Amino acid sequence: MAQNKVTFKSENKLGDCPGVVTGDPAVSKKGIVVIQEWWGMNEQIIQEAALIAKSGFVTLNPDLYRGKVATDNETAGHYMNDLDWPGAVADIKGAILYLKNAGCTKVGVTGFCMGVALSISTLYFQVGVTGFCMGGALTLASAALVPEVDAAAPFYGIPGKALCDLKNIKCPVQCHFGNLDTLEGFSAPKDQDLLEQTLKETGVVFEFYRYEANHAFTNTTGPNYNKECCDLALKRMCEFMGKNLS
């Protein structure tokens, strides 16, 4: 499947954001922004996005670290702690808008879109957001802060209250967490319980899945990788996005 490096507009103070697109906008009008773990936009997250794209989506990995990739926990921790989180949300918004406009078609001087005459006919992507660990937290933050998010599927990550109010989420949400996760204040079971209760209070349509797995159970290169749980979670996520990005 074709993969292309792109650069898209972002309101982040760092300026335009690089990324990798997988899939063909001429084939699918369903897009998913796939957000990195704390390691950065490494080969593992690019290939995970490619795997998701095979289910009928166009995916976009935004490079939130602007080219930096960590290979050890200490460096990854520094990168994550130094990240401008509101700026990262701005990058994700830029990625969403890039995909939505990638589905735009122009038909002559006068065209027809869904049977309505327009000077320029426009067909927009429906775009969801998914992410893992740090990316899971940013997925929820984007759902709360970016109205253009059509669906959100966070994996084992919850943002702090200083970044956003999760009660502002309006789109459908599907959550994936591990029962054996020990990251207190971020993705441990008691944090999951609070998130689930918050989603209930918002009144949004949501699904909440918990697996007999540890943190980062979908990362094929990590020590906590659990193939059975990973395969099931990604299958559920793709079905959820397929249903909600229609």
Q: Could you give the dihedral angle defined by the CA atoms of residues 38, 206, 19 and 185, in that order, rounded to the nearest 10 degrees? A: -20
Higher model confidence: residue 181 or residue 103?
181
CA atoms within 13 A on the CB side of 48: 29
| 141 within 8 A of 164, measured Cβ to Cβ | yes
Instruction: Compute the C-alpha angle 131/175/37, nearest 5°.
Output: 20
Mode of pairing for the β-strands spanning 58-62 and 17-22: antiparallel
- Quote the CA–CA distance of 17 and 94 in Å, as a whole number: 8
| pLDDT over 80 at 176, yes or no | yes
Q: What is the 3-state secondary structure (H, E, C) of 66-81?
A: CCCCCCCHHHHHHHHH
DSSP state of 198: H
For residue 228, pLDDT over 80 is answered with: yes
Q: What is the pLDDT of residue 110?
A: 31
Dist CA 69 CA 65 (whole Å): 7
Residue 203 has pLDDT above 80, yes or no: yes
The two three-digit tokens of residue 216, written as one number: 């980062």
The CATH architecture of the domain made up of 3-244 is 3-Layer(aba) Sandwich (3.40)
What is the predicted pLDDT for the residue at 171?
A: 97
Please name every residue paired with 128 in a beta bridge, in sequence order, or none if there are none.
Answer: 32, 151
pLDDT digits (tens, 9 = 90+) for 26-52: 888 899 999 999 999 999 999 999 999
| Cα-to-chain-centroid distance, residue 216 | 15
Kindly tell me if the per-residue pLDDT of 17 is higher than 70.
yes
Mean pLDDT confidence for 190-196: 98
Single-letter residue type at 11: E
Average pLDDT rounded to a whole number, residues 178-205: 97
| Number of helical H runs and strand E runs in the chain | 6, 10
pLDDT in tens, 42-90: 999 999 999 999 999 999 999 999 999 999 999 999 999 999 999 999 9
**DSSP code, position 125:** -
101 exposure class (CB count in 10 Å sphere: 0-12, 13-18, 19+): middle
Single out the residue of 119, 126, 120 nearest to residue 102, CA to CA. 126
Percent of the chain whose pLDDT exceeds 90: 87
Domain boundaries, the chain: 3-244
Q: 92-144: per-residue pLDDT in tens?
A: 999 999 999 986 433 333 333 344 433 333 456 799 999 999 999 999 999 99
At residue 184, the pLDDT reads 98
| pLDDT at position 125 | 73
Tell me how far apart the alpha carbons of residues 200 and 194 are, in angstroms, rounded to a whole number.
Answer: 10
pLDDT of residue 1: 81
pLDDT score recorded for residue 246: 80
